Amino acid sequence: MIQMKQKVWFGIIFLFLFSCNNQKNSVIDLDVIDIEYGLENLTRLKVSDFGQTIRYIPLETHDDGLVGNNPVIKVLKNYIVVEAQRKCLLFDKKDGSFIAEIGHYGQDPEAYTDHFSWTDEKEEFLYFARQPNQLMKYDMQGKFCGKVEFASPPGLASYFLVTDSEIIGFYGVTTQFYVSTTPPTNQFALRIFERDGSVKDSIPPFYQKTQIVADEIAGMTVIRNRNLFGNKAGLGLIIIDYKNDTREFNFPYSPSIWKHNENIRYKEDFVDTVYTVSGAHLTPSFIFNTGRYHWPVEERTSKKNTNERIYISDVSENNTFVFFQCIRGMQSDEPVLYNGLYRKQTGQTKLSRSSDEIEDDLTRFMPFTPSGISTAGEFVSLVEAWKVMEWLEEHPEAMNNENLSFLKELDDEMNPILILVE
């Protein structure tokens, strides 16, 4: 059965949309990413579904640039950014050569308090959080270039998008911990700043954010498990169990805002529509059809009757595709993670269980595990050298594959290998 391109016509009558953005009534032609169809017509993805060329870039193993465990990777147009063990390392995208360690963790005037970084639109600088209300700025050689200071409150967002003209902060649930029963009344999901940190606009959330009060918490768990909860969990997942037998999932640094070409996209948790941001206005861009698997936002913390419900955990896009991950039964003891691929031109949605490995049918290398899309539009994966060495023990014939010549220089003490598909 071939899925045809779908469109859905929406009369935009949602009260929250009007109250947020003062938009006029309109009928908007939206592309539909059909998760319901995909779940009921599961396929098995191959590398050729993502692109036709594949490139392997071993990251240089340098004394000052050793990649630690559970790295977070961001691939820019010219650089590879790797964050792990309170360090941010920069590599050249052409050949994987080590460039510099960017900034440092600490309390001195040029230090950051978290090694997670954001780049600017021209990809000339990296920005790091310094509590309670600053972004520290470094160039791509590691030179300190100043800071941006925000009013406090709101202080630091959980995720930033830095454009040529402004800074947009996403204020997720994880930024709203309170120890009293009288939380602030002014809530917002996005706050738009001038490049100097002064406020331009705010966009409220689509639903009332959970106010996390310490004496209501029964327990808290922090995990990093991409295999179970997807790529967002690689940045860290906070699970909060409450005394009333409900549970909250929080993904710090969740990329809920991103830029595609000239469009700034925004997706709120438990809202199935992806919006384009223009000033303080939101315009629907495309929608995930979860159908009978829809998870109502008002029941997002419930552990009852949620085994079949779908949580959309990760979204990225390039000119051809929208790549996403979703979790079925996230509140259950056996959640199921899926990889999804939507082709914009045809409107076809493909969905595959993450446990069904993505076969490399281009070069016959290890199964491909996409972690997102680079700013240049390539699909990205990172594999550790020791895992490749283990795989080689079972596939020694790969050493004779001319497409995998990098294997001849490999040993298990080396830095990881970056894989790009386009």
Domain assignment present for 338: yes
Question: Tokens for 267?
Answer: 């997706």
Q: Please give the tally of structural domains in the chain.
A: 1
Q: What is the pLDDT of residue 186?
A: 55
Domain assignment present for 88: no
Domain assignment present for 298: yes
Q: What is the pLDDT of residue 223?
A: 86
Q: What is the pLDDT of residue 21?
A: 38
Tell me the sheet residues that pair with 119. 126
Q: What is the pLDDT of residue 112?
A: 97
User: Residue 298 class from Cβ within 10 Å (0-12 exposed, 13-18 middle, 19+ buried)?
Assistant: exposed
CA distances from 141 to 104, 123, 396 (A): 13, 12, 39
Domain assignment present for 260: yes
Domain assignment present for 289: yes
Separation CA 129–CA 163 (nearest Å): 17
Residue 149's SS3 state is strand
Residue 357's SS3 state is coil
Separation CA 234–CA 187 (nearest Å): 27
User: Residue 19 class from Cβ within 10 Å (0-12 exposed, 13-18 middle, 19+ buried)?
Assistant: exposed
Domain assignment present for 233: yes
* Positions in the chain short of pLDDT 50: 1-2, 4, 8-27, 174-185
Question: Tokens for 291?
Answer: 């159908």
Q: What is the pLDDT of residue 28?
A: 57
Residue 332's SS3 state is coil
Q: What is the pLDDT of residue 160?
A: 96
What single-letter amino acid sits at 200?
A: K
Q: What is the pLDDT of residue 7?
A: 52
pLDDT in tens, 198-226: 999 999 988 876 666 788 899 999 888 88
Domain that includes residue 307, residue range: 1-41+210-346
Question: Tokens for 54?
Answer: 């594949």
Domain assignment present for 107: no
Domain assignment present for 342: yes
Sign of CA dihedral 70, 143, 192, 77: negative
